[in-house]
Amino acid sequence: MKAAVVPAVGQRWELREVATPRPGPGQVLVRVHACGVCHNDVWLSRGVLPFPPLDPVITGHEAVGEVVEAGPGVTARRPGDRVGVTWVQGTCGRCAYCRRGLPLTGQSGMNCAEPVMTGVTVPGGHAEYVVALVSGTVPLPDELDYETAAPLLCAGYTAWSALRASRAAPRERVAVLGLGGVGHLAVQYARACGFETVAVTRSAEKQELARKLGAALVVADGTQLRESGGADVLLVTGTSYAAAGEALAGVRPNGRVVLAGIDPQGAFTIGPRDMVWANRLQIVGSTHNGPQELHEALRMAAEGAVTPLVETFDREQVAEAVDAVERNEVRFRAVVRYA
């Protein structure tokens, strides 16, 4: 099969011929139609996050496609099923974390002693075929085409989980910091739920886009957010914790700040003027928060409440897609076609 291989740390991705995988017990083989490019894929391949110990290195955790073969013992998925493959496919089931009996989430991937993670511990979805555990697949709604569905497997899942984790209540105001792959969906999810939604972005060019996505107001930073009346919820979707710290200035008393993005280098700091204690702010971590929330995120897109905006690339252009992601030029998710 053809796969987008990262030859070594920091090298450009290359479309190469590699062995087609076969599904083992409890696994399915998925013919990948499309796979989104997440910032984490770029960081993994650049060594900003630990370079995957795979041979060959194939990243990608936004793969969607069709089940073409079910391994021994598989009954929940059948050939012909349209599925997405999740970032965390499964856990060891035996370690101290697993014994706590928690649902399969991004947290499982970061805590289990031997997690099965797409494109991290096992080959990912930037290929014509990917093998996944049944627990790492989710049925796709019929209404969603593959290119629209792909970004929901990580970016959409992250955005919706963050909004859920904020416990946003009726009449509260929701601010979304960062307008990239996750942020452009977070704005739409918040708006779809009826929240007055504020986009926080320094990019002048994205301000008009933010309004089209449903933001009632667009501000540049936390100071402007405060001047506009502040927000009860701040969803941090970008990759800068420094920007997140600055945006604390715009969070109302009793507000919640949800850290849903990864800043691999910067630190999130709370300054004395932020009055986190006196304002009784809550800083909440959030990741992919469970299959039920992924199902909800997919359903909202299937019902037309949320639509990922994608730029599609043919598989031969995968290196260009990654470059565009790295330069923050994509509006708003790069999706590579593999079928």
Among 84-92, 121-129, 196-204, 246-254, which window interacts with Zn ion (CB under 5 A)? 84-92
Residue 242 interacts with Zn ion (CB under 5 A): yes or no: no
Q: In this complex, which beta carbon is closest to Zn ion, that of residue 118 or of residue 188?
A: 118
Residue 18 interacts with Zn ion (CB under 5 A): yes or no: no
Q: What string of H, E and C letters represents the secondary structure of the chain?
A: CEEEEECCCCCCCEEEECCCCCCCCCEEEEEEEEEECCHHHHHHHHCCCCCCCCCCECCCCCEEEEEEEECCCCCCCCCCCEEEECCEEECCCCCCCHHHCCCCCHHHHHHCCCCEEECCCECCCCECEEEEEHHHEEECCCCCCHHHHHHHHCHHHHHHHHHHHCCCCCCCEEEEECCCCCHHHHHHHHHHCCCEEEEECCCHHHHHHHHHHCCCEEECCHHHHHHCCCEEEEEECCCCHHHHHHHHHHEEEEEEEEECCCCCCCCCCCCHHHCCCCCCCEEEECCCCCHHHHHHHHHHHHCCCCCCCEEEEEHHHHHHHHHHHHCCCCCCEEEEECC
Q: In this complex, which beta carbon is closest to Zn ion, that of residue 112 or of residue 159?
A: 112
Residue 92 interacts with Zn ion (CB under 5 A): yes or no: yes
Shortest CB 269 distance to Zn ion, Å: 25
Among 88-96, 99-107, 131-139, 304-312, which window interacts with Zn ion (CB under 5 A)? 88-96
- State which of positions 30-69 bind Zn ion (CB under 5 A): 38, 40
Shortest CB 325 distance to Zn ion, Å: 11
Shortest CB 185 distance to Zn ion, Å: 12
Query: Which listed residue (85, 116, 154, 215) binds Zn ion by CB under 5 A?
Result: 154
Query: Which listed residue (1, 48, 68, 98) binds Zn ion by CB under 5 A?
Result: 98
Question: Total binding residues for Zn ion by CB under 5 A?
Answer: 9
Shortest CB 74 distance to Zn ion, Å: 21
Q: Summarize as ranges the residues that interact with Zn ion (CB under 5 A).
A: 38, 40, 91-92, 95, 98, 112-113, 154
